Structure 1
Amino acid sequence: MIDARKTLSLSVQFNEIRTNNESEMTEMPAMHAEIILAIFTSFCLLSSAEISEYVIKSERLPPDLNFMPTLGNGHMGYTVFGDAIFMNGVYNGEGGNSRRARIPNWLNLSVAKIQYEEWELAIIPDMFELQLQDGYFRWLFAYEANGLQVKLEQRTYPHRYYNRALIYELFVQCTGAIDPLLIKLNRKPGGKSEAFDFSPLDSANGTVSFKMLQGVTRRLEHRNFQTEPRKIFVAFSDDWKNEHTIELSAGQEELYYRYVITADEREEIARQEMAEVIKLTPEILFQRHALEWRAFWSDFNIQIDGNLELSHIVNAGIFYLANSLPSLNTSHLNGAYFGLSPTGLGRGQLDADYEGHNFWDTEIWMLPAITQFSTRWAEQLLQYRFEHLRGARYNAKQTGYQGARYPWESAYTGTEVINPCCLEIAAEEIHISPDIVLALQHHYAVTHSKEWLCRVAWPIAKEVAEFLVSRVRDDGRKFHLEGVMGPDEDHSNVTDNVYTNVVVKQSLEFASFARSMCVLTDGRPDVWLDIARRMQILYDEKLDYHPQHLGYKRGEIVKQADVVLLGYPIQFAMSNVTRRNDLLNYEAVIRESGPAMSWSMFAINFLDVKDIEKANLYFQRGYKDYIRPEFKVWSENKIGFQGSANFLTGIGGFLQTIVNGYGSVRVQLDGNQSVMVIQKTYCLPTSKGFTINGIKFAQSRFSLKIRANGTTTLSCVEKGDLNIELLVDTQKYAVQEHFSIDLTGSTASLRTI
């Protein structure tokens, strides 16, 4: 438990940071400072059992080191003990060969041996720990013999405030040594970079000097959109090769060693960040990092009661997803953010890592959870799409269509960079463009920001709508889409995939809405709404279900959730009987090697049709078979099948199951009003209850507490500027800060006024 003395100490040290480094830091926003103060208040109340929910310990490493934790801060990322560091937006390779540009992992340091007198002691750590609350990984070792006691702690983290910096720290405690202790460090950065040519730079920087390298990528992604290679500048706090020895003098009881790498696309930022970091004391450096993570956990968290293992899985999932996103408070301003790929910022060189590209995974699978983390993060992800409209226009033109057609895979330039293995997917999975529009719609419903709607959402929705108009075929009665592929990639070149047609319909409806909000109409017939009304939505009246596409035969194996997405997340209107029939028809035909998030969607949709037993089955199936036990790292496919590691897409689906499934939180538009509906809630299986803290809606934050005894409590923990009313059954309430109400057995609707 964090006691008052520790809280005071953190407060004092935070003030020291502000006082001692005022000239080196950007001004902290007032709201952020308030969050920091709230952290100290809230975390001092946590019990030791609750703190343990944020600590994952393992006495061994995973057999496959690919499943080590991936750490990041939105600017850089790496996998612990891996051979690569990656930087946001830095790719190398032409077209489909573009992938994240690998920087050798010069931070991959570890104590290999201790030499004392005539003997050498090889270091085999006793414990490995992933500290989620403060955002770092550490490994521990202790030795005791013949009166000599040695304790080692090593830790590594990408700094969350000084986010151009990657940190390795070594703490040594020693008693009983009558001779010097030699501590031998090894570094394993991997081979030379396949992406960069590195050259040394002059290291002088006033009174401080350090080693500097310049890296230049070797190949352009698309010459029409990228005229020069990417340049990065890397600074090192120490200049040594792959071995280094530190001496602990006889009688010396403590030793601290720190190795820092800073990197940026601007040389002066890499230099400045290094100069600032190396001046800080160990305590201040670490606490400035930890404060940012605690600010995050204070703003959003999910508390699981009565199931520590599930709590670890939930918290690790949140951590892995969040640590690839940009630091929101930094020593130097961030540049543009280049999106969130399925395995995060700390991966991307390998095909198994999807080369670090962006897919529909961002908008459909990850963004609903990320929006609850922070609407600022959601805006940055959607800003990536806005800033790459030019690439989407180019893609539409190159494929013979109008408007903006977002590529199936995008990276630095926003043009199509699909792996050469799978060109038919890029040609046929056109649903990514309307998927992006529906993400815009969801974000507007959550934030209710008309300024953002007209500045960002409307320009994208308009051009995607123009693409869809040029892509559909009109038979005089219905509009059709031919030669497409839905989320199920086992069926290609089909007609009227029902998922694709529904998201096209809904995106055209939102485009028409955005136009009505943002521009003056000319009174002409609305072509977009006409297509939406006449879009072919396949439906088998006799069997009361939706065939996946024209010609689909019941019982055919499919790769992943496709039709079942119509209920949630798409929220397509249908009867519960039809929805249940869809679930029953497709649950038996998902292939065994399918990805994790399919089962999460089955869980949510079975909850909606009130089949709790099946929902609980699929909820547990959606994570238990996909998580490596040591550090709760996700795999794309079940254990026993090959798949990507650190699979954020699966994590996003899993978190939606908790927030939007068992928590029943749904956000939608009703005319020009934003509405958040909470219907029947359910306790998570194998738990005594759970609380979602930090639900975002209409500039306000809410908590939702669900107990095993069936009670549900909704509370407003922070009220924004927008007026909100709450309707529970037939009773209306004005929502104010600290407002709380029992929702047990009722449907609640929060609505902007």
Structure 2
Amino acid sequence: MKFYLGFFVITALAIFCNAFQIPSFEDVRQSWGNLVGSKKPVKKQRAKRSYQRSTGTGDESSTPTEAQTSTLPMKNGKINLRYMPTLGNGHLGATVYSDAVYLNGLFNGAGDKSHRAKIPALTMSRAKLREDNEKTAQRKFNFDSRTGVFTEKIECDFANIEHKIYVHAKYIRLLVSTIKMTKRQITGSSSSGKITFTYPQVNSTNDLSLVSKRSVDGGSLRYIMKTKEAEQDGKTNEVSIYMNDPINDLSIGFRKVEYAAVLMAVDKDGSAAYNEFKKGMLLMERGFEKEQDFLLEEHIEHWKKIWDAGRLEVEGDLIISKLVNFAQYYIYSSLPPVYAHQRPSREDVYLGMSRVGSAWGGANDPYKGHVMWDSEMYIIPSVVLFHPEHVKHMLWYRGHVSANAKVAAEADGITKGNKYPWRSGTSGKDVTPNCPDCANRLYVNGAIAFAVRTFFSATRDRDYITNLEYKGCDLMIESARYLAEKALYDPKKGRYVINEVTGPDEYHKNINNNAFTNVLASLAIHYARYFACQCEKPEAEIIPETYIQKALYMYLPFDISRRLHYQFEGFQDRPPSERVSQADTIMLGYPLNWNMSMDIYRNDLEYYETKTDQSTSALTWSFFTVGWKWIEETSKAKSFFLKSYQDFVVQPFKVWTEYGDHSNVQNEGAVNFLPGMGGFLQSIIFGFAGVRIRPEMLEFHNPIPAPDTDKIKLLGFTYLGAKMDIEITEDRVIIKVKSLGLYPLKLKRNNTEGREEELERGKTIEIDEQDKAKGFYIFSPEGTGCEHPRDYVYMPWGYSPFINSANIVRISPFYIIILVAALIMKIT
């Protein structure tokens, strides 16, 4: 009886589910072979630690936030500025000992000649001693990543000298240089105890014309300079520079301590520059009278406010700890100055995060200070859970230049949507030099849409979508609409295709159906409908069903037998020796969190590990790290974690380069390469800490410490306005709720009980090792009221455990048959 009843139910279900494409025996065999056979045994071993790349200098400090050295990076007998630390606050940026200062939004050059205008660094000078004093002098150089202060310490016969250089964090228009001389012994004469300085002269440059020069306030100087050529529309910009009378020499005589300072204030707004210059001078003079430095104290206090608001820390390994601290500093020092004493005017919008930060970008520098897609894909995710307000201002730039993005879409024959360029400056127009295929890098649109998705999922910031200045709703919707319009139906495939594109891999240009681009397009369309609802717009009209069908039936080059994605259509027919330049298809798993089975993700990682050029840029290995951690290949994740930084970090100041030791273009690539740093930080936050930002929840997948460390600390970790301190060790996770935002929050473990806990201010929740391994998530029971984005494409059976190719089926009918049959067998 039991047999006949079971046979009857299985037959009935099979007939009923015929429309759902029940897999053939061969499908099941192939899928089972991939699922079981793809997991190769991994030999457990500790990742071999390699020394970090050096330029002949070493970091002598044992403090996790500082670097100290006796020798600076040199090249041909001169200081190698490429590897010196950068100073900045998001409005002003400079490299230590460089002759250039760069100002947010000040560009020179029309069209593809656009670059940041070089402003003379009037305060940037080194202390010089007499030749006989120099022979016995000892110099030490210290850089503090917590404060962005560079200090040169000189110990000589007559004095101990401290020369500090920094860009002020609070008074964002100030570049400060201070000197303190402390007498060591009585010298024969004042001339024997002297240091001298040489400062740049202000004249017209290739970028700026000197308009006027005059004295102000009895000894200080004001310069007005003007850019020579506008990026568009012929409108050049003036910049005002204030500087106190520079001290060319300083002697130590009968006084025990001597102080001196040189201040430079820079801005397009002359009154703002002057006000901060006066404030800085007043603080400096009052401090010197009391043998204190009030200006420095306010700078340090402001940086403390930034770090206290949110940061990542690791414990247990000095090398990794320093890398984390310095990477965050270099990124944070280029973020929009939202906490400044006097913010830039509304007209002077923060012009985005360049991949080289705020201290590079001149005419001879790579990338010219332009904004690119890695701002959204590599930098924003590393910041958004600690400093969401800064991310909102980063996204503001894209909304600010949306008019020219609309023009670009129309020039491409698309009447709906905006098209964002590969590289952009003040205008938002494409300023990429000599790159015919760059117009086809449509994943820029997808990256922008994904950044909006990431930001809003982490914050539900209503101001971003209601405040028309940000243009948040239009940014998301119009980015997606352009991609939807580019997807065209191919009757032979029965799918929508996006042809003639270039993906992140720059070795293969103008190809069809790049998997990364097509997945980004699908995600953008799905989320745009959800976001339109959030914006209280008629979502079904703005993102019509025809667009949703494109998102659901987007073509993905996928090999059903090998169960892996091909980078683009026809990739499998290329010579086996062909390589890809950087991470591309593997980004489907992370950062896109694409809905696919883990064996497919594994196969993608294994396949493209062998296909990736080993001379790849710093954009690649961090995302491999996250992938291997996500599929629980911890040993491989550790190996790739080491690989992600060891060839790209230059000692002693932890400056990242675009290319590593294995690359022939290492000395030609960018330095202070922020996307590399952002990817490295992401490998810890989203890899080892296991964080996933979902549209309506925050997931933690088996969080563990980073390799060779004992603890990850997510301090000031912010989700939906709530702030938490989270500590992750091998055996537990501790969450301390510091404050709550507008939304109530709950935590739910993925164990069999599925117990929910309210998050309340002051509450501490401890998750033991067993529950930690199973994962947990944080969510708000107060839903958004909008239909959740579907976030999938219909694919063959077994592609995802949740989605089949023919219909919206959350669980495969094949699994339903097995489960129901088993249940009946048990009952009877």
TM-score between the two structures when normalised by the length of structure 1: 0.87
Alignment of 1:612-651 (within 5 A): 612-639=634-661, 641=663, 642=666, 643-651=669-677
The change in CA–CA distance for 1:334 and 1:261 in structure 2 (over 3 A counts) is same
Q: 1:295: how far off?
A: 1.1
How far does the alpha carbon of each residue in 1:3-32 deviate from its partner, in whole angstroms, 9 at most, with x for none?
xxxxxxxxxxxxxxxxxxxxxxxxxxxxxx
User: Any idea what SS the aligned residue of 2:223 has?
Assistant: strand
Q: 1:52 aligns with which of 28, 51, 63?
A: 63
How far 1:122 moved relative to its partner?
Answer: 6.4
Deviations 1:42-69 (A, max 9, x none): xxxxxxx999211111111113331100
Shift of 1:188: 5.1
Corresponding position of 1:666: 692
Tell me if the contact between 1:715 and 1:740 (Cα under 8 Å) persists in the aligned partners: yes
1:751 paired with 2:761, answer no
User: In structure 2, the residue corresponding to 1:355 is in which secondary structure?
Assistant: coil
Q: Secondary structure at the match of 2:565?
A: coil
Q: Which moved more, 1:355-364 or 1:695-704?
A: 695-704
Q: 2:545: which partner in 1? A: 526
Equivalence for 1:39: none
Q: Measure the CA separation in 2 of the matches of 1:380 and 1:129.
A: 32
Map 1:366-381; keep pairs closer than 5 Å.
366-381=379-394
Shift of 1:125: 5.3
Q: How far apart are the structure 2 equivalents of 1:548 and 1:50?
A: 45
Letter in structure 2 aligned against 1:97: K
Worse overlay, 378-387 or 524-533:
524-533
Distance 1:50 1:105 in 2: 29
Question: Aligned partner of 2:312: which letter?
Answer: I
* CA distance in 2: counterparts of 1:719 and 1:487, whole angstroms: 39
Is residue 570 of structure 1 aligned with residue 596 of structure 2?
no
Equivalent pair of 2:618/2:659 in contact (CA under 8 Å): yes
Q: Show CA shifts across 1:674-733 (max 9, x none).
A: 2001120122111222212122101011222122x4322222222223211111231111
Identity rate, percent: 24
Q: 2:487 aligns with which of 467, 472, 490?
A: 472
After superposition, residues 108-257 of structure 1 pair within 5 angstroms as: 108-114=124-130, 121=134, 126-144=139-157, 149-174=158-183, 175-180=185-190, 181-187=193-199, 193-205=205-217, 209-223=219-233, 227-238=234-245, 244-249=248-253, 251-257=254-260
Query: Helix, strand or coil: the match of 2:508?
Result: coil
Deviating more after overlay: 636-645 vs 648-657: 636-645
Query: Is residue 113–residue 185 contact of structure 1 (8 Å, CA) maintained in 2?
Result: no
Q: Which amino acid aligns with 2:249?
A: T
Q: 2:370 aligns with which of 352, 357, 380?
A: 357
Q: Is the aligned partner of 1:65 residue 2:81?
A: yes
Q: Give the match for residue 270 of structure 2.
A: 267
Give the deviation of 1:462 after TM superposition.
Answer: 2.2
Distance 1:191 1:575 in 2: 63
Q: Secondary structure at the match of 1:314?
A: helix
Q: Which moved more, 1:530-539 or 1:337-346?
A: 530-539
For 1:173, the aligned partner's letter is T
Distance 2:702 2:480 in 1: 35
Is residue 441 from structure 1 mapped to residue 453 from structure 2 by the alignment?
yes
Pick closer, same or farther for the CA change 1:351–1:578 going to 2, 3 Å. Answer: farther
For residues 450-502 of structure 1, what are the alpha-carbon distances to aligned partners after superposition, in whole Å with 9 as ceiling and x for unaligned? 34235533211222233223322212421101110111111001000000000
Structure-1 residue corresponding to 2:608: 586
- Residue in structure 1 matching 2:299, options 270, 286, 289: 289
User: What amino acid is aligned across from residue 483 of structure 2 in structure 1?
Assistant: L
- AA of the residue aligned to 1:644: A
One-letter code of the match for 1:500?
A: T
The equivalent of 2:747 in structure 1 is 726
More displaced stretch, 714-723 vs 595-604:
714-723
CA shift, 1:193, in A, is: 2.7
Q: Distance in 2 between matches of 1:350 and 1:723?
A: 50
- Counterpart CA distance in 2 for 1:527 and 1:464 is 16
Q: Secondary structure at the match of 1:170?
A: strand
For residues 445 and 437 of structure 1, the distance between their equivalents in structure 2, rounded to whole angstroms, comes to 12
* Rounded Cα–Cα distance in structure 2 between residues aligned with 1:495 and 1:640: 31
Report the alpha carbon displacement of residue 200 of structure 1 after superposing the two structures with TM.
2.6
**Cα 1:592–1:360, aligned 2, differ >3 Å: closer, same or farther?**
same
> Equivalents in 2 of 1:352, 1:540: separation in Å?
42
For 2:733, the equivalent position in structure 1 comes to: 712
Distance in 2, Cα, partners of 1:400 & 1:694: 46
Distance (whole Å) between structure 2 residues aligned to residue 162 and residue 457 of structure 1: 29
Task: Name the CA shift for 1:523/1:742 in 2 (closer, same or farther; >3 Å).
Answer: closer
**Deviation of residue 170 (structure 1)?**
0.7
CA contact (8 A) 1:83 1:190 kept: no
Within 5 Å, which residues of 2 pair with 1:303-452? Answer: 303-335=313-345, 336-350=349-363, 352-402=365-415, 403-419=417-433, 421-425=434-438, 427-452=439-464
Question: Counterpart of 1:537?
Answer: 556
Displacement of 1:523 after TM fit?
6.0
Q: Are the structure 2 counterparts of residues 318 and 125 from structure 1 closer, same or farther at C-alpha, using a change threshold of 3 Å?
A: farther
- What's the secondary structure of 2:275's corresponding residue? helix
1:140: how far off?
0.7
**Residue in structure 1 matched with residue 788 of structure 2 by the alignment:** none
SS at match of 2:362: coil
1:736 aligned to 760, 768, 776, which one?
A: 760
In structure 2, the CA distance between the partners of 1:575 and 1:123, relative to structure 1 (3 Å rule), is: farther
- When the two chains are superposed, the root-mean-square deviation of aligned CA atoms in Å is 2.0
| Offset of residue 389 of structure 1 | 0.5
Q: Separation in 1 of the partners of 2:412 and 2:538? A: 30
Displaced runs of 4+ in structure 1, greater than 4 A? Answer: 122-125, 188-192, 522-525
Could you tell me whether the CA contact under 8 Å between 1:111 and 1:123 is conserved in 2?
Answer: no
How far apart are the structure 2 equivalents of 1:304 and 1:654? 13
Structure 2 unaligned residues grouped into runs of 5+: 1-59, 75-79, 783-828
Residues 191-246 of structure 1 show CA distances to partners (whole Å, capped at 9, x for unaligned) of: 963210113333335xx5521111110111122xxx41011000111157xxx122
Distance between the aligned counterparts of 2:61 and 2:706, measured in 1? Answer: 18
Displacement, 1:114?
Answer: 4.2
SS of the residue aligned with 2:172? Answer: coil
Specify the alignment match of 2:110 in structure 1. 94
AA partner of residue 251 (structure 2): E
Query: Which protein shows a greater Rg?
Result: 2
Q: What SS does the aligned partner of 1:66 have?
A: helix
Letter paired with 1:278: M
- Shifted more, 511-520 versus 606-615: the winner is 511-520
Q: Which amino acid aligns with 1:732?
A: E
Please show how residues 475-514 of structure 1 align to structure 2 within 5 Å. Answer: 475-476=490-491, 477-514=494-531
Q: Is the 8 A contact 1:304 1:687 kept in 2?
A: yes
**Per the alignment, do residues 53 and 324 of structure 1 end up closer, same or farther by CA in structure 2, a change over 3 Å counting?**
same
Give the structure, 1 or 2, with the largest relative contact order (CA under 8 Å, sep 6 or more).
Answer: 2
TM-score (structure 2 length as normaliser): 0.80
